[in-house]
Amino acid sequence: MTNMKQRKALRMDDVGASSKLYEIYSKKFYGLGNFWFLKQLKPFAAWGPYEEMSCQEWEEVLAIIEKYSAKLTVGITACWVEYDGTLTPFPVKFPEQAKLLKIAQRKGLIEIANHGLTHCVLKSNLFRPQFFKGNRAFHREFWDWQGRDLHFDHIKKSQQILQEYFDTDVVTLIPPGNVFCEHTLDAAIEHGLKFVNCNLKDSDYRSLKLISNANVIAFHDKEIVQIGPQWLEKTILQNEAQWVFTRELG
């Protein structure tokens, strides 16, 4: 009897997210590594900063996806947050990368997923690096204390930007940092999303399907930028799977 391969999804987060530049914190020495500039040094740093993926890196990633007949769900943050708090849509900030992804989506290599409008908290410029503490908590967009209106506003705007540019229905939401609440889910339903990929068990919320990460290999563009596209190829080779988009697990 032929063994059926398990269905799995590859999911890349943080494409277009300025959190890669501003989310700077340390876990070293019970948080003392967050002191001033220490958290930006390699022995202390837990996250950023790192660069957005280049066109060359994207071309290599897409070639790997095509080579192995895989599929990739790409979680795009619809706007880059500038240091002064203004928002620049992903296709405007990174036009060449956006073109490549648009072609790849049309070819069926990738699924465009919603990874928030900002990925971070804009209020009081809390997203900026702090002198004497980390700012990780403020690089999660959909906290309940942000208020219901913000959830609806951010989901609406992010859907408009992504759907208009990529000319496709965006049906999958990947909440930044896996932080969300009922306001987020209600807003997702209101604006045409059908699936939410998160760390919860598979379940239903009204018309939404919540898809667990049980069969999702979730990573960030950080792996590609800091290790290289070969990281993705190695990951694919280490997993015998029938590759599907995240939405297909729902």
Please, which pLDDT band fits residue 4 given cuts at 50, 70 and 90? confident
For residues 244 and 201, give the distance between their C-alpha atoms in angstroms, rounded to a whole number: 19
Return the closest-CA partner of residue 52 out of 93, 92, 110, 88: 93
What is the DSSP code (8-state) at residue 113?
A: E
* Average pLDDT score over the chain: 91
| Residue 36 confidence (pLDDT) | 45
Q: Is the pLDDT of residue 134 over 50?
A: yes
Q: Is the pLDDT of residue 161 over 60?
A: yes
Q: What is the mean pLDDT of residues 157-163?
A: 98
- Number of Cβ within 10 Å of residue 35's Cβ equals 14
Please, which pLDDT band fits residue 101 given cuts at 50, 70 and 90? very high
More confident residue, 128 or 166: 166
Per-residue pLDDT reduced to its tens digit, 29-85: 445 444 445 445 565 455 568 999 999 999 999 999 999 999 999 999 999 999 999
What is the DSSP code (8-state) at residue 208?
A: E
> Greatest CA separation found in the chain?
61
| Residue 243 confidence (pLDDT) | 98
Q: What is the mean pLDDT of residues 223-233?
A: 97
For residues 159 and 149, give the distance between their C-alpha atoms in angstroms, rounded to a whole number: 15
For residues 45 and 41, give the distance between their C-alpha atoms in angstroms, rounded to a whole number: 6
In angstroms, the Cα distances linking 225 to 14, 15, 23, 79, 196 are 12, 11, 16, 20, 26
| Residue 208 confidence (pLDDT) | 98
206 burial (CB, 10 Å; 0-12 / 13-18 / 19+) is exposed
Share of residues in the chain with pLDDT > 90 (%)? 81
For residues 12 and 217, give the distance between their C-alpha atoms in angstroms, rounded to a whole number: 9
95-106 and 55-67 helices, crossing angle to 10°:
10
In angstroms, the Cα distances linking 208 to 45, 84, 223, 233, 250 are 37, 35, 30, 32, 10
Return the closest-CA partner of residue 195 out of 204, 185, 206, 208: 208
Q: What is the mean pLDDT of residues 1-11?
A: 81
Per-residue pLDDT reduced to its tens digit, 10-25: 999 999 999 999 887 4
| Residue 32 confidence (pLDDT) | 45
Q: Where does the chain have alpha helices with state H?
A: 19-22, 55-67, 90-93, 95-106, 148-166, 182-190, 221-226, 230-237
| Residue 231 confidence (pLDDT) | 98
Lowest mean pLDDT among 11-15, 47-51, 146-150, 182-186: 47-51
| Residue 227 confidence (pLDDT) | 97
CB 191, CB 159: distance < 8 Å: yes
Q: Is the pLDDT of residue 2 over 60?
A: no
Q: What is the mean pLDDT of residues 243-248?
A: 98
For residues 148 and 182, give the distance between their C-alpha atoms in angstroms, rounded to a whole number: 9
CB 173, CB 113: distance < 8 Å: yes
Q: Is the pLDDT of residue 27 over 70?
A: no
Share of residues in the chain with pLDDT > 70 (%)? 87
Q: What is the mean pLDDT of residues 135-164?
A: 96
More confident residue, 240 or 101: 101
Could you tell me which residues are beta bridge partners of residue 124?
none
| Residue 47 confidence (pLDDT) | 58
Tokens 């890196």, residue located = 57
Domains of the chain: 7-18+52-124+141-249 (3.20.110.20)
